[in-house]
Amino acid sequence: MQKELLEKLKEITDEERAILSGEHHVKRELYTSGQDFTVDSKKMLKEGKLIAVRTHTRFIDFPVHRHNYIEVLYVCEGELVNIIDGRKVVVKKGELLFLNQFTRHEIQRAGENDIAINFMILPEFFDIAYEMAGQNNVLADFLVHILRQDEERGEYLYFKVAEVLQIQNLLENIIYSLVTGKGENNKINQTTMGMIFLYLLDSVQYVEMRLPDQYENMVAMTTLDYIEQKYKDATLTELCEMLHLPMHVLSRMIKKSTGYNFKELLQRKRLKKAAALMCDTDLAITDIIAAVGYENSSYFHRVFKAQYHMTPRAFRMENSKKGQVRL
């Protein structure tokens, strides 16, 4: 991170100055108007804004609280110790912690050189990021579903991406934009966050998740990533071997976590990819069928028509006229 930006982020805030002068408690009125300590987006974001940033308040333990927005914590320097449902999560320099709406957590006292940024994000901010990921991305479907849930379930996504330079550069850009006020354009910031989201989708190997039924959800995450990467040749047998699980056990976990069985997830991915290819390329439909992993042309036409209520040829003609893919 640029030295000038880091120095700006290290500046002592009025709230921190009061703490250093003897204030022993976080002033709840700065964050909420209610009895329950729910940090309120109306107090944290200007009207009409979908995202804002602030430096995390140092020199004091931040008590148990939740938010009515999505919070993303990014550590610029040092580390930040979170306690989420009794679980200790130490976020280090260059790492990201996504907390869905209403997740309860507390943060242990940060020192002077523990510099962290709180991104305060309304759920609709991720619309552009989701579009950029592509509507045929089942992994993006799963992650956005987690972030947008409004149930109090203590869920988080912890990305250990300090070594992914593209993510670090994009984060610095968006932090600079929001901190200096020189780029408070929702569209530009949404696009930047969309690019970060795309890189995070390619960094699943660095993610730690905390969800109810954590192991089953990790299995689901692995399954969705496997289908995303290998949809043409993916098989449940190969996935079972990768995860060292019996087929009936894995099938039950996938169904419970995603609402679909393996065959349905694979078919959704293949059909969406085929639909995108029909509208984005001039490939013959027979070539597209082979490219997405189908060997039986008649079967493909049958399942495609069941999904989109028209033949592949009619779908291509209609969407070519509109200049868009209807997924």
Strands across the sheet with 115-121, in order?
51-55, 115-121, 70-77, 96-99, 156-159, 207-210
Confidence (pLDDT) at 154? 60
> What pLDDT was estimated at residue 326?
40
pLDDT tens per residue, range 288-318: 999 999 999 999 999 999 999 999 999 999 8
Residue 26 phi/psi, 5° resolution? -65, 135
Pick the range with the lowest mean pLDDT from 88-92, 181-185, 226-230, 236-240.
Answer: 181-185
Q: Could you state, in order of their start, the residue ranges of all structural domains in the chain?
A: 3-210, 214-263, 274-322
**Which tops the pLDDT comparison, 170 or 326?**
170
Q: Cβ neighbours of residue 205 under 8 Å, at least 6 residues apart?
A: none
Alpha carbon distance 42, 31 (integer Å)? 9
DSSP class of 30: G
* H or E, element range at 91: strand 87-92
Name the CATH code of domain 274-322 (choices 3.90.550, 1.10.10, 1.10.3470, 1.20.1280).
1.10.10
Residue range 171-220, pLDDT digits in tens: 999 898 888 876 556 678 888 888 888 888 777 767 776 655 666 777 88
Enumerate residues 6+ apart whose C-beta is below 8 A from 282: none
Q: Beta-strand (E) ranges in 45-85?
A: 51-55, 62-67, 70-77, 79-84
Count of C-beta atoms within a 10 Å radius of residue 163: 10
pLDDT at 91 over 50: yes
Q: Please give the radius of gyration of the chain, using alpha carbons only, rounded to the nearest integer.
A: 22
C-alpha count within 13 angstroms, C-beta hemisphere, residue 266: 19
CA dist 207 and 42 (Å) reads 30
Main-chain phi, psi angles of 47, to 5 degrees:
-60, 130
Compute the distance between CA of residue 104 and CA of residue 248 in angstroms, rounded to an integer. 35
Would you state the pLDDT for residue 213?
61
Of the chain, the percentage scoring pLDDT greater than 90 comes to 51
- CATH number corresponding to 3-210: 2.60.120.280
pLDDT for residue 245 is more than 70: yes
Residue 325, pLDDT > 50, answer no
Give me the percent of the chain exceeding a pLDDT of 70. 87
Q: Could you give the residue ranges of the DSSP H alpha helices within the chain?
A: 3-10, 14-20, 41-44, 126-133, 138-148, 165-180, 186-201, 214-230, 236-243, 247-258, 262-280, 285-291, 297-308, 312-322
Q: What tokens were used for 314?
A: 């009619």
171 phi, psi to nearest 5 deg: -65, -40
**Helix H or strand E segment including 121:** strand 115-121
pTM above 0.75, yes or no: no
Residue 92 predicted with pLDDT over 50: yes
